[in-house]
Amino acid sequence: MKPLLELKNVCYAYHSKGGETPALQNISFQVQQGEFIAVVGPSGCGKSTLLSLISGLLVPESGSILFAGDSSAKKAAGSGANCALREKIGYMLQKDHLFEWRTVYRNVTLGLEIQHRLNEENRITIDKMLQDYGLERFRNARPSELSGGMRQRAALIRTLALGPELLLLDEPFSALDFQTRLAVCDDVSAILHREKKTALLVTHDLSEAVSMADRILILTKRPARIRKVLNLEFEVQGLSPLARRSTKEFQNYFNLLWEEMNDSE
């Protein structure tokens, strides 16, 4: 089966007056439709840069990024092909970027409004997601009236409303307290499975990576290369992230990851 996303020998360096900062070196991997991949690595190694390249915000210096077999990511930022690619990719960040001056409903419809795609069909999809994910009662509330977990769910609905094929999650839970974070990981994981989405999660939290992913890419320190790929297999399939945390496999994978990360420091 053709992978949804394929990176081949991707290299990237930042250039400034002060000189060159190589960020990524020869990154190659594939992501299949429906997979959940976590990316971990030392702080500052190039994880966010990797997501910016995949989303088309940055262009690789060499190598290629193929989305569903199409290499449009290689083309100059802002070109028509690049815009089309961006529509297939949703980005969720650490900050939820909900606007206080809009209601929850008008926040989740914002992306569609901007893209002039807010129609009756999309409104029905959004209403269903608000209902399914416990936000219907809050559709006319302001973001400040929501809990941290609810805010992240609203941000996720806003992203999913655009119908992305691939979701890029850049530390989306790190602003939440530990207890909320566990609950939101479960929520987000259930939503992504239900919506059959493919996702790439950048996180510095090793237990989060082991609890959510099918596969973990471990990066070296900057310039990042792929140090190791860890395929996660659990005896019981389809466990929620919280349930995974009490399995023996969880402990084993966590220890393995911990050793790899400490070796790479």
* By the rule CB under 6 A, 16 interacts with ligand ADP: yes
Quote the tokens at residue 135: 């936000």
Candidates 30, 32, 33, 48: give the one binding ligand ADP (CB under 6 A): 48
* By the rule CB under 6 A, 17 interacts with ligand ADP: no
Q: How many CA atoms lie within 13 A of 243 on its CB side?
A: 11
Residue type, 174: S
Candidates 25, 31, 46, 55: give the one binding ligand ADP (CB under 6 A): 46
* CA atoms of 135 and 98, how far apart (whole Å): 14
Candidates 9, 44, 84, 124: give the one binding ligand ADP (CB under 6 A): 44
Please identify, among the stretches 37-45, 104-112, 187-195, 246-254, the one whose residues bind ligand ADP according to the rule CB under 6 A: 37-45
What's phi and psi for 187, nearest 5 deg? -60, -55
Handedness of CA 265, 8, 213, 24 (dihedral sign): positive
Distance in Å, CB of 111 to ligand ADP, minimum: 24
Distance in Å, CB of 42 to ligand ADP, minimum: 7
* CA atoms of 39 and 19, how far apart (whole Å): 27
Distance in Å, CB of 23 to ligand ADP, minimum: 4
* CA atoms of 76 and 10, how far apart (whole Å): 16
3 state DSSP class of 74: helix
* By the rule CB under 6 A, 23 interacts with ligand ADP: yes
In angstroms, what CA-CA distances link 100 with 7, 81, 96, 105, 140? 38, 33, 11, 12, 12
* CA atoms of 159 and 183, how far apart (whole Å): 19
Please identify, among the stretches 39-47, 93-101, 104-112, 253-261, the one whose residues bind ligand ADP according to the rule CB under 6 A: 39-47
How many residues bind ligand ADP (CB under 6 A)? The answer is 13
- Binding map of ligand ADP across residues 52-81, x = CB under 6 A, - = no contact: ------------------------------
Candidates 8, 11, 21, 122: give the one binding ligand ADP (CB under 6 A): 21
Please identify, among the stretches 15-23, 66-74, 98-106, 247-255, the one whose residues bind ligand ADP according to the rule CB under 6 A: 15-23
φ/ψ region of 117 (left if φ > 0, alpha if ψ in -120 to 50, else beta) reads alpha
Distance in Å, CB of 133 to ligand ADP, minimum: 28
Please identify, among the stretches 43-51, 104-112, 127-135, 254-262, the one whose residues bind ligand ADP according to the rule CB under 6 A: 43-51
CA-closest candidate to residue 210, choices 176, 251, 155, 149: 251
Distance in Å, CB of 255 to ligand ADP, minimum: 23
Q: Which residues bind ligand ADP (CB under 6 A)?
A: 14, 16, 21, 23, 41, 43-49, 222
